[in-house]
Amino acid sequence: MICPVCHTGLEWTTRMEGGQHRRFNALACPVCLQQKSRAFYLQLQKEYLPPVLAGETDMTLTYPAGARRYHIRLMGEPTHAFCGEAVSRNWFKRYLRLDDQLRAQLCPRCLEVLDQLRQEMS
């Protein structure tokens, strides 16, 4: 089966059911689902960002051991950052208010997405 949107071939999977191996085709394209999910979560951030951008509340930052820059964790989806990078629940977390000093310590791509969302909100 081919995805009608991105034309990716959808793979068959095999699993045991009733003591027999059965083949199943994916019902949805994982690539398209991931893109739609990311778009939804980025739109959802706009509901939570105003107090963060105003410096009234903390934002959740995450980083692996030894990292030099923080990633901004998506609100409502703690396994991904604003930049799209997968985030482990085992990474360190910090809760800080957005200011110029913190902006210099953020992942450049996370900062780019944050600024893009800010522009879309104004």
Taking only the tens place, the pLDDT of each residue in 41-78 is 999 999 999 999 999 999 999 998 888 999 999 988 88
Whether 79 is covered by a domain: the verdict is: yes
Query: By residue range, what is the domain housing residue 113?
Result: 12-121
Q: Where are the beta strands (DSSP E) in the chain?
A: 12-17, 20-25, 59-63, 71-72, 92-96
Supply 48's token pair: 């939570």
In the predicted model, what is the mean pLDDT of residues 10-24?
71
Among positive and negative, which fits the CA dihedral 117, 76, 106, 61? Answer: positive
Given this model, what pLDDT does residue 57 score?
Answer: 94
Confidence of residue 97 (pLDDT cuts 50, 70, 90): very high
Whether 1 is covered by a domain: the verdict is: no
User: Number of folded domains in the chain?
Assistant: 1
- What span, in angstroms and rounded, lies between the C-alpha atoms of 36 and 76? 15
Whether 7 is covered by a domain: the verdict is: no
Taking only the tens place, the pLDDT of each residue in 20-47 is 777 666 677 878 888 888 899 999 999 9
Question: Which residue has 């985030």 as its token pair?
Answer: 87
